[in-house]
Homo-oligomer: A and B are copies of this chain.
Amino acid sequence: MAVTESVPTALRVVDRTIPDRRPDGRDQYTISEVAAYTGLSVHTLRWYERIGLMPHVDRTSTGQRRFSNKDLDWLGFIGKLRLTGMPVAGMLEYADLVRQGDETVGARAELLTAHRDDVRRRIAELQGTLDVLDWKINLYDAAERRTEVG
């Protein structure tokens, strides 16, 4: 019965002080480096792994995580999915398909296609609502001008 979708504040307010390029040429990044690079918190990165959203991250002999460039690619992609409002459950489903191997490419394409349709629908919806906002803002601006003049 809910009528809308909330969008985490971070996504909305985010000021992108996050470096656009990888820390350097290595293939081994600590969790805090990855946090700085992706904009996710270290908490979130660990949580993603816990719930099964990361495809096994390497560890040092003492148990510390070392993320690879492949991990960064993955985080980048699911970051896009999150950005478009895909719930974590959906990303989990996708991650499971990837884990299952090549015979799931069809299912993956299907999942992403459905999501793409959803994104397109939401874009259209947002654009429709822009008109209402324009109309209201114009009303207010006109009212203000009247106040200034009269």
Contact = CB atoms under 8 A, between A and B. Distances in A.
A141 to B, nearest CB: 6
Contacts of A31: none
A77 B6 CA distance: 17
What is the oligomeric copy number? Answer: 2
A5 B7 contact: yes
Interface in A91-150: 102, 105-106, 108-109, 112-113, 115-116, 118-120, 122-123, 125-127, 129-130, 132-134, 136-137, 140-141, 143-144, 147
A12 to B, nearest CB: 6
Contacts of A106: 140, 144
Interface of A: 1-12, 14, 35, 38-41, 43-44, 77, 79-80, 82-85, 87, 102, 105-106, 108-109, 112-113, 115-116, 118-120, 122-123, 125-127, 129-130, 132-134, 136-137, 140-141, 143-144, 147
11 contacts: A1-B10, A1-B41, A2-B41, A3-B11, A4-B11, A5-B6, A12-B85, A77-B136, A112-B136, A113-B137, A120-B130
Given A2-B8, A4-B10, A108-B140, 8 more contacts: A5-B7, A5-B12, A7-B7, A80-B132, A83-B129, A84-B126, A112-B137, A119-B126
